[in-house]
Amino acid sequence: MKGDNIKKFFIYFFLALGAIVMVFPFYWMISGALKTAAEYNSYPPVWVPSNWLNFDNFVRAFQKAPFQTYFLNSLLVTLCSVTLTGIVTILGAFAFSRLRFPGRELIFSFLLAFMMVPFEMMVITNYQTVTKMGIINTIPVLIVPFTTSIFYTYILKNFFDTIPDSLYYSARIDGASNWKYLWRIMVPIAKPSLVTIMLLNAISSWNSFLWTSMVINSDKYRTIPLGLFAFMTEGGSDPKLQLAASTVSVLPMIILFLFARKYIVNGVARGGLKG
Amino acid sequence: MQVRIEHLTKKFGDAVAVSDFSMNFDDGKLVALLGPSGCGKSTTLNMLSGILPVTSGKIYFDDDDVTNTPPQDRGVGICFQNYALYPHMSVLENIAFPLEIKKVPKEERLAKAREMAKLVHVDMLLDRKPKELSGGQQQRVAIARALIKTPRLLLLDEPLSNLDARLRLEMREEIRRIQQETGVTTIFVTHDQEEAMSICDKIVLMKDGYLQQEDKPQTLYDDPHNLFVANFLGNPPINNLYGTIQNGRFVLEDGSASIKIDNPNAKEGEKVVMGIRAESVTISKSGDHDFEAVIKQRYTMGKEELAFLNIGNQVIRVYLSSDYTYDVGEKVFLNLRQKGVFLFDQETGERI
Ligand SMILES: Nc1ncnc2c1ncn2[C@@H]1O[C@H](COP(=O)(O)OP(=O)(O)OP(=O)(O)O)[C@@H](O)[C@H]1O
Ligand SMILES: [Mg+2]
C-alpha cells in the first residue's frame, strides 16, 4: 500500500513537472502579451499581468502589420487545403482499399516508398513545377501541392480495410453504386479517422512555413507564420507586440485542439507517427 | 419463385469450390444448404446473389437466365453471417436502406421499415444503433433489411452461427415463422444438421463442392445414398461397423460375430460398412439375438440413457431401455431393426 502511494506520488510529480514545462511558454506568451511596458520590463519579473483585459499590445501589433490579412489568408488556405485534401484522400483510399485494378498492390507499395522521401527534398522540384504552372506568389500555390497526401491516404485506407466486405456486398445487392456506398456507408463509418486526418492536415497547413516562405513574396498573400516572421525581423523590436502577434497566430489551433483533443490523440496514437 | 441451377461450377484458380452442381429450389420453400466447413455453401450462395461470377453453368430464376445479371437486378435479399448492419445507422435506417437506394420517398420507406420491424419483432428498438443490440436482435434486423424490398429469393448465410445455443433454438423457429408468413423462397446455409433437420422443407447436402443428396429431411435420414450422408445426419451419430460379406452374412472384421442380411446387391467377399442408427438397436438380457456385446460405458443425454458397447473390437452406441438396469462390463444381446440399418461399400462409400 505504502509503496503504491509513493509510486503514485512520483508518477504524478513527474507528470506535473512535464505539464508545467510544456505549458509555461504558452503562459508566458499570453501573459506577456497582456502586460504593460512597466510590468514587462520590471525586475524581478512580474508573473501575473495586473489587467487581464489589457489588449493594447494586440491593437498596436495589428496597426503595425496587416495581421487580419495574414489571418484570413491562413484561414482560406487551411480551409481549402483541408477540403481538397480530404476529398482526394477519401477517393484515393477507396480506390486502394475497395476497387480491384491491375497493379494495385504495386502502385501502393511505390507510394509507400515515396513517403520515405522527406518534403524538404522535393521542395526544389515542386518549386520548378509551380513556376511552370504560373501560380507562384498566389494563394493556390499554398494549396495545390498538398492536395494529395500519401500518409493520410495510407491511414484512411487502413481504416477502410477494416470495414467488412459483407457491408459492401450487402449494399451492392441492395443496388448501391460504389459512389453511393463510399459516401453513405464508408465515409460515415470512417468519421473518427477522417476527422483526425483533417485536424492533422489543418495543423500542418496552418503552421506551414518553409514552402510558404519560398513561394510567397508579396505582403498581401502572406499567411500567419510568414507574417509573424516578417514582423519579428522587419517591424517590431518590441517583444510585447511579438508576443501578442504570436498569441493570435496560435489561438485558432489551441481552440481547435481543445475541441478535438480526443481525435488528435487517437490519430497520433493509431498512426504511430506524426503527420 | 423457383430457382434452378444447372452444372454450376466455381473455381478459384486451380481450387474447385463448387463442382457441377445441379438443383431445383421450389417456390416458397425453405431449403437448407448443409455441409461441413469449406464444402462450398457460401460460394454457392454468393453465386446465386450475383456477388461471385460463375466459372461455368447456369442459374435460372423462374424462366429467366440470371447467370450474368448484376446483383442489384436479381431481386434477392441476403443476410450475412456477421449480419453486415451499417454501424452508423439506426435500426430503422438500416432496415429502410434498400428502399433509400431505390429512392422511395422518406415517409413511405420509413412506414414500410416499421412494418418489417414489426414482422421480425424489433419494433421497440428502432432508434438504437446496431452495437446496442444483442446478437439475436441484430440478426432480426438483418433479416428485416433483407426482406424490405420483397425479394424473390431470400439467402441466409449461417445466420445463427454467432448466437448462443438457446437463442439459436429460438431464432430458428423465428426464421421458420417469418419465412412462412412471407412465403418467400429461402435458402438457408448451415453446417448444423439439427438446425437443417428441424426447420427446413428440404435439405441439400454438400461435400467438397459436390452435391451428395437432396431431399426432405426425414427421407435423407431414413434413406441416405452414401456413408457421408448417413454419418452427417443424426444425433447421436450413426454407428459404423466394418466387415465383409460372406455366405450372405455380414461378418465383422475380426470374425467375432456375423448377421444374416437379405440385400440382393451385396456381393460375396465385398468389404462393407454397416451403418446402424442408435435407435435401430434393441438391447436385451436374453433371447434371440443378432450380436452379443459388452457394455463399456454409460451416459445420459437429456432423459435418454445411452451406452457404448463393444462388439468384438468395434464400438457402437445404443439407447438403453429403461426396463432393466445394465452394469458396465455386463454381457448383453442386441437385435437390429430393419429400418435405420444400411450397408455401404467401404471403398466408395456408396449405399449397397
Ligand atoms: N476467394 C477465394 N479464393 C480462393 N479460394 C476460396 C475463396 N473463397 C472460397 N474459397 C475456397 O472454396 C471452398 C469453399 O468455400 P466456401 O466459403 O463456399 O465454404 P463454406 O461451405 O461456406 O464453409 P463455411 O461453413 O466454413 O463457411 C473452400 O475450400 C475455400 O477455401
Ligand atoms: Mg460459409
Report CA-CA distances (Å) from A265 to A90, A128, A163, A268, A272. 21, 36, 22, 5, 10
Residues with CB under 6 A from ligand 1: B 12, 15, 17, 35, 37-43, 191
CA–CA distance, A37 with A57 (Å, rounded to integer): 9
Instruction: For residue A1, name the pLDDT band (cuts at 50, 70, 90).
Output: low
Cβ <8 Å between B49 and A173: yes
CA of B33 to the centre of ligand 1 (A): 14
Cell numbers for A246:
504570436
Cell numbers for B125:
428498438
Ligand 1 atom showing the smallest separation from residue B46 Cα: 18
Cβ <8 Å between B98 and A175: yes
pLDDT tens-digit series, residues A140-177: 999 998 898 999 999 999 999 999 999 999 999 999 99
CB of B200 within 8 A of CB of B193?
no
pLDDT tens-digit series, residues A54-94: 888 888 888 888 888 998 999 999 999 999 999 999 999 99
Q: Are strands B3-12 and B15-25 parallel, antiparallel or unpaired?
A: antiparallel
Q: Which of B16, B41, B48, B156 to mutate to test the pocket of ligand 1 (most atoms within 8 A of CB)?
A: B41
Cell numbers for B27:
417456390
pLDDT at residue A236, as a whole number: 60
Q: Are strands B281-284 and B76-79 parallel, antiparallel or unpaired?
A: unpaired
Helix (H, G, I), strand (E, B) or coil at A87: helix
Nearest Cβ partner of A174 from B46, B80, B101?
Answer: B101
Domain residue ranges of chain A, discontinuous segments joined by + = 1-54, 58-273
CA dihedral A108, A109, A112, A118 (to 10 degrees): -120
Instruction: For residue A13, name the pLDDT band (cuts at 50, 70, 90).
Output: very high
CB of A71 within 8 A of CB of A248?
yes
CB of A230 within 8 A of CB of A222?
yes
Helix (H, G, I), strand (E, B) or coil at B25: strand
Per the omega criterion (within 30 degrees of 0), is the bond before B236 cis? yes
Please state, rounded to an integer, the average pLDDT across all residues of chain A: 87
| Amino acid (1-letter code) at residue B224 | P
Chain B CB contacts of A169 below 8 Å? 46, 49, 51, 71, 78, 80, 84
A240 Cα distance to chain centroid? 26
Query: For A109-127, what is the mean pLDDT?
Result: 88
Task: Tell me whether B112 touches chain A (CB under 8 Å).
Answer: no
- For the whole model, what pTM was predicted? 0.81
Instruction: For residue A275, name the pLDDT band (cuts at 50, 70, 90).
Output: very low
- Residue B57, phi-psi category: left (phi > 0), alpha (psi -120 to 50), beta (remainder): left
pLDDT at residue A44, as a whole number: 82
Q: Which of B14, B37, B39, B207 to mutate to test the pocket of ligand 1 (most atoms within 8 A of CB)?
A: B39
Report CA-CA distances (Å) from A248 to A96, A193, A216, A262, B351. 40, 29, 21, 24, 88
Q: Are strands B30-34 and B202-207 parallel, antiparallel or unpaired?
A: parallel
Task: Tell me whether A185 touches chain B (CB under 8 Å).
Answer: yes
CA–CA distance, B274 with B283 (Å, rounded to integer): 18
Query: For A183-206, what is the mean pLDDT?
Result: 90
Q: Which of A240, A232, A157, A152 is nearest to A197 (CA)?
A: A152
pLDDT at residue B43, as a whole number: 94
- A 146-175 residues with CB < 8 A to B: 164, 166-167, 169-175
Cell numbers for B192:
448444423
CATH number of A58-273: 1.10.3720.10
Instruction: For residue A268, name the pLDDT band (cuts at 50, 70, 90).
Output: low
pLDDT at residue B267, as a whole number: 83
Cβ atoms within 10 Å, residue A125: 9
Walking along chain B (352 residues) 10 residues at a time, the average pLDDT comes out as 94 93 93 93 94 94 93 92 92 95 94 92 92 90 92 91 83 90 93 91 94 93 94 92 89 85 83 92 83 88 87 89 81 88 90 88
Report CA-CA distances (Å) from A208 to A186, B19, B178. 30, 61, 60
Residue with cell string 438483418:
B142
Residue A274 has pLDDT above 60, yes or no: no
